[in-house]
A = this chain, B = another copy of it.
């Protein structure tokens, strides 16, 4: 495995580094960004928060706009932000923003031609932590968070891998992708018409039947343009009630779908994750 350093910026006493590597899972070159807080140079292994971004984003948006590095530096956590899909000229794309490059939905596509590259689920669950934990002073204490499509990704991945993640959180997640236009479109393309396959990636359905529990925080703005048609946090609340899932869902008047909302509450999320990342053992019901 070779990591090529693309960019490097010092901030808050640590280093933001952007790398490129050839992904064995996605069969293309991928970029990711990692923030190494000052504590990364002490020889200690640090916990890691993975951040999954939303539609149209790359590995850069979160690092530029969320203001998370200040807290990561204060609390000693590594931040890792992958790209939102496989990339490149040979990778199938679509003219719309909500399918193809920039819209991987963190699932494993089974339908041609998407199935050639679109295996973001395996990339996030397996390949990326393997890279991070071998290349950086990262422990195997992992948390996962995300926004919108990445909120769906973070919650869904934590629900399917409770032994791998200590905690999960999301801003404005697509909570019930089998039941909204963004999810219908992406899941039809990537997974085909058989909706039983869709269900295996639906956060609300997974949470409804969860037997292993990952502490989960969700923030949702009430002035979010996508709230009613695409996000449907009420389905998540209903699911958590059925399974007794440890979900804290907060609603915030006037806040919208932008990174300004994320910046306003990212401190709460990082402190939430740190509570569980520094506990041992984790994920007991």
Q: Which residues of A contact B (CB under 8 A)?
A: 9-13, 16, 64-65, 67, 69-70, 221, 223, 254-256, 258-261, 263-264
Q: Is the CB of B70 within 8 A of A11?
A: no
Report how far A256 CA is from B9 CA in the complex, Å: 7
Given contacts A16-B260, A70-B263, A260-B16, contact A10 B65 (CB under 8 A): no
> Copies of this chain, how many?
2
Which residues of B sit under 8 angstroms from A259, Cβ to Cβ? 64
Known pairs A11-B255, A12-B263, A67-B67. 6 more at Cβ < 8 A? A10-B254, A10-B256, A10-B264, A11-B264, A65-B65, A69-B263
The one of B13, B69, B261 that contacts A11, using a Cβ cutoff of 8 Å: B261
Report how far A126 CA is from B252 CA in the complex, Å: 38
Q: Is the CB of A263 within 8 A of B10?
A: no
Q: Is the CB of A67 within 8 A of B70?
A: yes
Which residues of B sit under 8 angstroms from A254, Cβ to Cβ? 10
Which residues of B sit under 8 angstroms from A256, Cβ to Cβ? 9-10
Which residues of B sit under 8 angstroms from A16, Cβ to Cβ? 260
Which residues of B sit under 8 angstroms from A67, Cβ to Cβ? 67, 70, 263
